Structure 1
Amino acid sequence: MTRLFNDPAAFADEALEGFVAAHPHRVRQVPGGVVRATRTAPGQVAVVVGGGSGHYPAFSGLVGQGLAHGAAVGNVFASPSAHQVRQVAKAAQTGGGVLLAYGNYAGDVLHFGQAAEQLTAEGIPARTLGVTDDISSASAAEAHKRRGVAGDLVVFKAAAAAAEAGHDLAEVTRIAELANARTRSFGVAFSGCTLPGADHPLFTVPEDRMAVGLGIHGEPGMGEQPVPSADEAAELLVSTVLGELPEGVDSPRGQRAAVILNGLGSVKYEELFVVYRRVAQLLHEAGVEAVDPEVGELVTSFDMAGVSLTLCWLTDELEPLWTAPADAPAYRKGTVEAADLISEGPAEQAVEEPVPAATEESRAAARTVLAALRTLKSTVDTHADELGRIDAVAGDGDHGIGMQRGSTGAYEAAVRAEQLGAGAETLLHRAADAWADKAGGTSGALWGVILRAIGTALGDTGRPTAPVVAAGVAEAAAGVMRLGGAEVGDKTMVDVLVPFAGALTTATADGQPLSIAWDTAASTAAAAAAATADLLPRMGRARPHAEKSLGTPDAGAHSLALIVRAVHPVLAPTLEIR
């Protein structure tokens, strides 16, 4: 378990601060993460990687010459927000465009995708690549759904070396895609990880058993087997990875491969070397030549006791990129020609944007919205542990923590906006941005969409009517489906948001005042949330563990139903509007 921390909510920020202080000649901190402390050639493609904290050396430890140009760093096990990714990318880029590379998790896909669209709109060409090396998380036929694990390193390294060689954005992206297509990983775990401040791990494994096919966010494995000897573990890892060869590789014999034996946090180096001894023998027997193998902690999961094996089947094009020199805080290979350090000027002071003008009617509505956000935060705080337990059944167990971060950030931003005289739209927009930044992950992105859509409908002028509020909720539902790609029946928050929006729209169209319409819609939401217990997840981190979730409601759907019910009393006395 994580023993040394202060405030668990500040753990990721404080860890990043200490990391930068320890490596001032290789990285510098910028809003949203870190970038190289050394100069990059003008016009070079910037490879910006990222993901949640809790995986060191990934992702911040892989920033440096020959490797990433920057890393966007999210909270613990939560993707960075689109805003954070964009800030890091803008700080890292030098005119050649940006490749955003990350593990293929729903939250990362949403946030990095949004950031790429925003960067391109601002005149900075951007491409994205989600690494999909984990063969246990989806079938070969659905390889695009696989998650990224230790194969991240191979893909990041190939892309960065290609950028250093002067290739343009299209070519760097092509090379990264090639490396990803030829990389396979598989892992096992003997115990789960415990997040800072938590008193129990995200999952447990029975004594004398091990989980097979694990993720790196505390997700339970795809199955269990008896704990093997070191040689037996090596045989399982090698046979599984060799069991799925990429297109163009007919047989392992005669192939050259980049090999990574990765420790996930609590399996120590000597143990890894014992396992690698047998891995090396088995690969040799199969006719595979290991090129510059790496044995150690490269993509971790806090204190998870586990190990994974990664093979990238090299080509004449990929091999020199894998063996090229690099100098990052946590990964060094060969010798790089040291670049000049960036001489920073005085730090710019953050300037708070003034709020747009608002009418008194809208400011009154903003005060009601603020009260609703206060109630929302209180509700999440009360139920955070419950939400975590529900999420841990088939996911990574961090939904309650993420909702706490997001709702707290949103409420604090809303308080400040109300003090500045903001109307309802501006208050909700600032709350939306804060929620996405503080929570990260899928829920952070989607709650940002929800608050922003409702704010846009309310506006900063006039007194909102019940149909206007309903229209905002309906647009929120549509926005969540557009961004997340989920539909009703996928076992997500959409299964509650859509029927809630529909019931609210119908009731307000019939002339019911908002408080009565909201009460009706909240009851619909509660029933819809309970019904998700009978669904199998088709999206997100719970999808690989679909059968385990039967009988348990979706955590995001459940939290949404709790929230819409809790805020009803706030609406009743103050918004008897039609």
Structure 2
Amino acid sequence: MTRLFNDPAAFADEALEGFVAAHRRWVRPAPGGVVRAAARVPGQVAVVIGGGSGHYPAFSGLVGQGLAHGAAVGNVFASPSARQVRQVARAAEAGGGVLLTFGNYAGDVLHFGQAAEQLRADGVNVRVLPVTDDVSSAAPEEAHKRRGVAGDLVVFKVAGAAAERGLPLDEVTRLAALANDRTRSFGVALGGCTLPGAGEPLFTVEPGRLALGLGIHGEPGMGERDVPSADETARLLVDTLLAELPAGVEAPAGQRAAVILNGLGAVKYEELFVVYRQVSRLLAAAGVEVVDPEVGELVTSFDMAGVSLTLCWLTDELEPLWTAPADAPAYRKGAVTAPVATGDEPSTAPVDTTDDTPLVADEDGRRAARRALAALAAVRATVDAHADELGRIDAVAGDGDHGIGMRRGSHAAHEAAADAVARGAGAATTLDLAAAAWADRAGGTSGALWGVILGSVGSALGDTGRPTPATVASGVTAASTGVMRLGKAEVGDKTMVDALVPFADTLTRAVAAGAPLADAWDAAATAAEAAAAGTAELLPRMGRARPHAEKSLGTPDAGAHSLALITRAIQQTLATKEVD
């Protein structure tokens, strides 16, 4: 378990700060992550990678010559925000365009996709490539739904080497996509990982049992079996991957492959070598020629006692890119020219979510802003009180980070709103700044969706005039629509939407019937609570819980549950007649 930490919510930020201090020869800080310390090469494609913390060396440790140009680093097991990705990309970009590549998880797809749209609007040429190598997370016919695990390294390495050659963006993207298409990974574990500050691991495995097909965010495996010997484990890994060959590979015999035997955090190097001893024998017996194998901790999951095997079936194009030199803090191969610091390091200060734009608000608008601030204070207190519970619910079939993410987001939103109110902002400006702060600080899917919720309600309220119950209801309806559009979820998918839609519908009906806002909100919160509880009987159809659908039966969705808690907390503030 993670034993050395301060505030668990600050763990990712403090870890990144220490990483930069220890590796200034390779990296320099950028808002939201790190970029190469070496001078940028004009016209070169910038390969920007990223994901949540907790996977070191991924992602910050893979920034350096021959590999990535920058990494956006999110909270523990949570994707970086779109703002973080955009800022890192702008710090790394050198005129040749940007390839954004990352593991295929809902939050990462959402935030990297948003960042790509924003960068394109700024005139930057951008391509996006999710990595999909985990064979256990979806069937071959749905390979586009697969997670990105240790195969990330292969794709990042090929992309970085192609960019180092000076190839154009379309060619770098094509080669990286080819590497992704020809890469397969499979993992097993003897025990789960424990997040900073948590009292127990995200999942456990009975003594003498081995979990199959686990995820790198602490997602439990797809099944279990008795613990085999090291040689039997090697055979399980090899046989699983040889059973699914990519298109164009008719048989393993005569093929050349990049091989990664990856420790997930608690399996020691000597153990990995014992397993690799048999992996190499089995591949040789199958006629596979191994090229530059990697054995070690490359994509981890805190202290997970597990191991994964990755095979990339090389082509004449891919092999020289896999074997090309690289020099990053956690990955070195061959010899490259020593990096030279540029001396123009970006600021390491936290992203400022306020601005100096003149505020336009009347007294009604400022009074509405104070009520919004009171509501956000109640949200923050409720999240703090239930953060551990939210993490436990999320860990049943997900990654257990929901409590930490909600705490970071609600705190940031409240602080941004407090600053806005102190400057005389109206409700729209206050909630818009709170929305940006929540999305940026929390990251992950829920961070983006709560940003949509706050922003939608704020837009409806405006900065002037006294908001009516109908105005509030229209804002909540817009929030519901926006969340479904951005998250692509529907009622029944076992997500936040299952509580948000009945909340919005009930509020709208009650307001239309003439109920005061506090009474209408009370009825809507009751509907949200019932709907959130009802998600316990649903099977997830989206997100990280989808591959573990049966495991989540009997447990409500964490996002729906947190939304219900928040709507009830806000109802208490609406019942108060005055807010100072």
Whether the 8 Å contact between 1:257 and 1:290 is mirrored in structure 2 is: yes
**What letter corresponds to residue 472 of structure 1 in structure 2?**
G
Whether the 8 Å contact between 2:107 and 2:445 is mirrored in structure 1 is: yes
Deviations 1:415-447 (A, max 9, x none): 111111111111111111111122111111111
Alignment-derived partner of residue 321 in structure 2: 321
Alignment-derived partner of residue 187 in structure 1: 187
2:166 and 2:448 mapped to 1: Cα distance?
Answer: 34
Q: 1:347 to 1:233 in 2, by over 3 A?
A: closer
Q: 1:492 to 1:345 in 2, by over 3 A?
A: closer
Please, which of 426, 435, 443 is the counterpart of residue 440 of structure 1?
A: 443
Whether the 8 Å contact between 1:515 and 1:575 is mirrored in structure 2 is: no
1:219 and 1:342 mapped to 2: Cα distance?
Answer: 41
Whether the 8 Å contact between 2:31 and 2:346 is mirrored in structure 1 is: no
Tell me the SS of whatever aligns to 2:307. strand
**What letter corresponds to residue 429 of structure 1 in structure 2?**
D
Alignment-derived partner of residue 60 in structure 1: 60
2:234 and 2:185 mapped to 1: Cα distance?
Answer: 13
Whether the 8 Å contact between 1:361 and 1:462 is mirrored in structure 2 is: yes
Deviations 1:283-338 (A, max 9, x none): 00000011000000000001111000000000111111101110000000011123
Whether the 8 Å contact between 2:107 and 2:444 is mirrored in structure 1 is: yes
Alignment-derived partner of residue 405 in structure 1: 408
Q: How many residues align?
A: 576
Summarize the alignment of residues 29-178 of structure 1 with structure 2, pairs less than 5 Å apart: 29-178=29-178
Q: 1:239 to 1:426 in 2, by over 3 A?
A: same
Tell me the SS of whatever aligns to 2:410. helix
Tell me the SS of whatever aligns to 2:5. coil
Q: 1:346 to 1:319 in 2, by over 3 A?
A: closer
Q: 1:39 to 1:294 in 2, by over 3 A?
A: same
Please, which of 352, 376, 393 is the counterpart of residue 373 of structure 1?
A: 376
Q: Which moved more, 1:67-76 or 1:331-340?
A: 331-340
Summarize the alignment of residues 181-260 of structure 1 with structure 2, pairs less than 5 Å apart: 181-260=181-260
Alignment-derived partner of residue 305 in structure 2: 305
Alignment-derived partner of residue 525 in structure 1: 528
Alignment-derived partner of residue 470 in structure 1: 473
1:4 and 1:389 mapped to 2: Cα distance?
Answer: 21
Please, which of 540, 550, 555 is the counterpart of residue 553 of structure 2?
A: 550
Alignment-derived partner of residue 513 in structure 1: 516
Q: CA deviation at 1:116?
A: 0.4
Percent of pairs with identical residues: 74
1:165 and 1:467 mapped to 2: Cα distance?
Answer: 59
**What letter corresponds to residue 554 of structure 1 in structure 2?**
D
2:178 and 2:10 mapped to 1: Cα distance?
Answer: 38
2:117 and 2:383 mapped to 1: Cα distance?
Answer: 31
Tell me the SS of whatever aligns to 1:136. helix
2:32 and 2:404 mapped to 1: Cα distance?
Answer: 19
Pair 1:395 & 2:391 matched: no
Pair 1:452 & 2:455 matched: yes
Tell me the SS of whatever aligns to 2:576. helix
Deviations 1:190-246 (A, max 9, x none): 111111111111111111111110101111111111111100000000000111000
Q: CA deviation at 1:347?
A: 5.2
Whether the 8 Å contact between 1:103 and 1:147 is mirrored in structure 2 is: yes
Q: CA deviation at 1:348?
A: 9.2
Q: 1:557 to 1:156 in 2, by over 3 A?
A: same
Q: 1:44 to 1:346 in 2, by over 3 A?
A: closer
Q: CA deviation at 1:339?
A: 4.2
Q: Which moved more, 1:350-359 or 1:83-92?
A: 350-359
1:81 and 1:471 mapped to 2: Cα distance?
Answer: 27
2:80 and 2:308 mapped to 1: Cα distance?
Answer: 25
Q: 1:345 to 1:262 in 2, by over 3 A?
A: closer
Tell me the SS of whatever aligns to 1:567. helix
Whether the 8 Å contact between 1:61 and 1:328 is mirrored in structure 2 is: yes
Any stretches of 5+ residues in structure 1 without a counterpart?
none
Whether the 8 Å contact between 2:25 and 2:339 is mirrored in structure 1 is: no
1:348 and 1:17 mapped to 2: Cα distance?
Answer: 9
Whether the 8 Å contact between 1:48 and 1:101 is mirrored in structure 2 is: yes
**What letter corresponds to residue 474 of structure 1 in structure 2?**
T
Q: CA deviation at 1:118?
A: 0.4
Whether the 8 Å contact between 2:29 and 2:347 is mirrored in structure 1 is: no
**What letter corresponds to residue 323 of structure 2 in structure 1?**
T
2:348 and 2:381 mapped to 1: Cα distance?
Answer: 35
1:375 and 1:460 mapped to 2: Cα distance?
Answer: 22
Q: Which moved more, 1:502-511 or 1:303-312?
A: 502-511
**What letter corresponds to residue 549 of structure 1 in structure 2?**
S
Please, which of 346, 351, 356 is the counterpart of residue 354 of structure 1?
A: 356
Whether the 8 Å contact between 1:514 and 1:575 is mirrored in structure 2 is: no
Q: CA deviation at 1:414?
A: 1.1
Q: CA deviation at 1:382?
A: 1.2
1:481 and 1:314 mapped to 2: Cα distance?
Answer: 40
Q: CA deviation at 1:85?
A: 0.5
2:344 and 2:191 mapped to 1: Cα distance?
Answer: 44
2:149 and 2:8 mapped to 1: Cα distance?
Answer: 25
Q: CA deviation at 1:398?
A: 1.7
Q: CA deviation at 1:575?
A: 8.5
Q: CA deviation at 1:247?
A: 0.6
2:398 and 2:137 mapped to 1: Cα distance?
Answer: 12
Deviations 1:156-190 (A, max 9, x none): 01111111111211111111111111000000011
**What letter corresponds to residue 264 of structure 2 in structure 1?**
L
2:346 and 2:571 mapped to 1: Cα distance?
Answer: 48
Alignment-derived partner of residue 485 in structure 2: 482
**What letter corresponds to residue 31 of structure 2 in structure 1?**
P
Tell me the SS of whatever aligns to 1:163. helix
Please, which of 433, 442, 445 is the counterpart of residue 430 of structure 1?
A: 433
Alignment-derived partner of residue 12 in structure 1: 12
Deviations 1:329-368 (A, max 9, x none): 0000011123432122795988751252211111100100
Tell me the SS of whatever aligns to 2:189. strand
1:242 and 1:359 mapped to 2: Cα distance?
Answer: 68
Whether the 8 Å contact between 2:265 and 2:304 is mirrored in structure 1 is: yes
2:544 and 2:270 mapped to 1: Cα distance?
Answer: 32
Alignment-derived partner of residue 24 in structure 1: 24
Q: CA deviation at 1:510?
A: 2.3
Deviations 1:106-141 (A, max 9, x none): 111111010000000111111111101000011111
Q: Which moved more, 1:394-403 or 1:246-255?
A: 394-403
Tell me the SS of whatever aligns to 1:427. helix
Any stretches of 5+ residues in structure 2 without a counterpart?
none
